[in-house]
Each structure stands twice: as structure tokens, then as C-alpha cells.
Amino acid sequence: MAELNKKKEEGKTLIEVKDLKEYFYINTGLLKSKPLKAVDGVSFSIKKGETLGLVGESGCGKTTVGRTILHLYKPTAGEVWYDGKQIKTRSDIKEFRKKATMVFQDPYSSLNPRMTVSDIIGEPLDVHNLCSSKQERQERILELMGYVGLNSEHAARYAHEFSGGQRQRIGIARSLAVNPDFIVCDEPVSALDVSIQAQVINMFDELQEKLGLTYLFVAHDLLVVRHISDRIAVMYLGKMVELAEAEEIYDRPLHPYSKSLLSAVPVPDPKTARANQRIVLTGDIPSPLNAPSGCPFRTRCKYATDRCAEEMPEFKEVSKGHFVACHHTADIN
């Protein structure tokens, strides 16, 4: 019965994003401004206990999606739902932040150099008044440090005394302090050495298993994303262009942009690597400040037609759980 309840709980939608938009207004001259459409109408959901990988090249808006979901940026339009409730008011956001946190990309700049490890990890406990005594607070900090492989003697030291991998562990311990259900992982291993990356990724897996966490895992390294994600979403210039199960995206990418991204992933087997055809994109990367009409990818797509310039393709389900935004999916696959 307990196992059945756990499965039911895991099949439940925890985070739902509906037509999310985040525009930043840029000054273009005397009293004139123009919207930079960092996120432009993105929709998806994440089930409890699931990891959704969000990939795309630099500047596509994937980090902005994570920050906007947590209301670190106020959404320009669209809705964010958590556990069946829309996050709208200030009190909604305050409650939501007790259940949703973030692990930042750069462990060097995301930790205060003037605070000890104990104070960094304990800060969320103080902000949300989660401990009734100093002793309880100290016990909780040591418990969190144990989760991420740090020992008690590290508590009185400062962040600058640690390596990049250890600093990121401190950041992860801080994100776990409020006992969250949902964590946005914003490229949490991209600033680390390759040898350390695997350790941190395995730790994310273990913590998910142990604490029942749900992740939005933002990254540009497709090998890392494949290892940790249940499903993968591909973004291009503020839009979502494909979403499917992780293996499905790798074995059968349908969007021309996804095909190009995956063709660049290094393969350890020399024979397979030689047989793989690298799909090199031509044309310049457009700016989100002057995005092309219709499909944003059309200026670099060899299948583009007049229709692609006239209308944005609908983000639709082409097979069970596999969504694509392309007018020519049937012709090119």
C-alpha cells in the first residue's frame, strides 16, 4: 500500500508552467525601449520526483525560465502552478520559496566570502524561522553538511578556503535547508572540473532518491543532461522547440535544431563517431531583441519555407509524450 501511494504521489504534477513570458525592456534611444524576449510563451509540467532537463545554447533563455518560475524575476505574462495552486500573490511566493529553491551556476560568486559555512547554510533557516533554538539550528546545519559529504570541522571555515566542487556542495546544502520539494539546478556543474562533475551529478541522484526531490536541471552539456534527466526539453531563442523522454530525444530527435545539438555530442566509440554526420548550422544566430518572424530557427534551418517566416509553428504532441514545434516534422523525419 505504501509503495502504491508513493507511485501515485510520483505520478502527480508538482510544477506546471503555462505560456510563461519574460521580457526585459532595453533602451534604444530617446525615451524609446524595445522588449528583449528572453522567454516567449513556454509551457511544460514536471511530475513529483522527476528530473526535467532544459537544454539549449547560451542566451536561449533557459536560466531565465528557472529564475522566473521561482519569481526571482517577475513574470511578464503566463502562470506558474505549484502542487495544484497558482503562484500569484506575495504570500504565495513566500510560501512557495519554502518549498522551491535554487542551486546557482557559479560556486565562486554565489557564496558570501564574509560568512562561515555554518552561517551560509543556516541563513535560510533564519530567514524562514525554521529552528526554535541554537542547538536545533546547529544540528540541522551538521545534518545538511552530512548530506553533501562535508564534515563538521568545515562548519567554521570560510568559502574561499574550499575548492570549486566543495563550494558547490555548500551551495547544495544551503538549497536543502528549507527541506524543499523542488530545486532549480542552474548549470550546477558547468564551472567544475570534469572529474568533479560526475561526483556532484551522482550526489544529485542520491539526494533525489533519499529526499524525494523534483529537479529542473538547466544545462548545455547534453551528456550530463542525459545521465540525470527523465525527460528533456530543448529551447531556442526563448521558445521551446522539442520535449520528450530523455532516451527518445537521443534516439529520435525530430526538430532540426535538436538534431544539430545531438550531432555535436562526443561519442566514446571511434567507429560510431566516424559514422556520425555532424550537422553544422549555417547563418548567424539572431538576437532575441530582433527575433525573426514566424519560427525563430528558420534563419538557420535548411528546411525553412515561406510558411516558416509567416507563422510560428504550434508546439504539439506528435507521438505519446513527444512534443515538437516545426511545420515540417513529417517531411524531414
Question: For each of the chain's 333 residues, which pLDDT tens digit applies?
Answer: 444 455 556 679 999 999 999 999 998 887 888 899 999 999 999 999 999 999 998 888 999 999 999 999 999 999 999 999 999 999 999 999 999 999 998 888 888 888 999 999 999 999 988 888 999 999 999 999 999 999 889 999 998 898 888 999 999 999 999 999 999 999 998 888 888 888 999 999 999 999 999 999 999 888 889 889 999 999 999 999 999 999 999 989 999 999 988 887 766 666 665 666 777 777 777 888 888 889 999 999 888 899 999 999 999 999 999 999 999 998 887
Q: What integer pLDDT is reported at residue 1 of this predicted model?
A: 44
45 and 117: one domain? Answer: no
147 and 23: one domain? Answer: no
| Other beta carbons within 10 Å of 264 | 12
Please report the sign of the dihedral spanned by the C-alpha atoms of residue 35, residue 41, residue 46, residue 52. Answer: negative
Domain count of the fold of the chain? 2
Q: What integer pLDDT is reported at residue 2 of this predicted model?
A: 46
Q: What integer pLDDT is reported at residue 331 of this predicted model?
A: 82
> Which DSSP state fits 300?
G
172 and 192: one domain? Answer: no
Exposed, middle or buried, 195 (CB in 10 Å: 0-12/13-18/19+)? exposed
Q: What integer pLDDT is reported at residue 238 of this predicted model?
A: 92
Please report the sign of the dihedral spanned by the C-alpha atoms of residue 37, residue 41, residue 42, residue 45. Answer: positive
Instruction: Assess if residue 266 is contained within a domain.
Output: no
69 and 79: one domain? Answer: yes
Give the three-state DSSP class for 72. Answer: coil
Q: What is the DSSP string of 11-66?
A: TSEEEEEEEEEEEEEEEEETTEEEEEEEEEEEEEEEETT-EEEEE-STTSSHHHHH
136 and 42: one domain? Answer: no
Instruction: Assess if residue 294 is contained within a domain.
Output: no
73 and 85: one domain? Answer: yes
Cβ-contact 210, 289 below 8 angstroms: no
59 and 17: one domain? Answer: yes
Instruction: Assess if residue 293 is contained within a domain.
Output: no
164 and 20: one domain? Answer: no
The pTM assigned to this predicted structure is: 0.91
> Which DSSP state fits 293?
S
Instruction: Assess if residue 146 is contained within a domain.
Output: yes
Instruction: Assess if residue 35 is contained within a domain.
Output: yes
190 and 60: one domain? Answer: yes
Q: Which domain holds residue 69?
A: 2-99+180-196+211-259+312-327
9 and 133: one domain? Answer: no
Q: What integer pLDDT is reported at residue 282 of this predicted model?
A: 75
> Pairing relation of β-strands 13-29 and 77-82?
antiparallel
89 and 67: one domain? Answer: yes
Q: What integer pLDDT is reported at residue 30 of this predicted model?
A: 79
C-alpha cell at 316: 504539439
161 and 247: one domain? Answer: no
Instruction: Assess if residue 204 is contained within a domain.
Output: no
Report the C-alpha gap between 163 and 86 in whole angstroms: 40
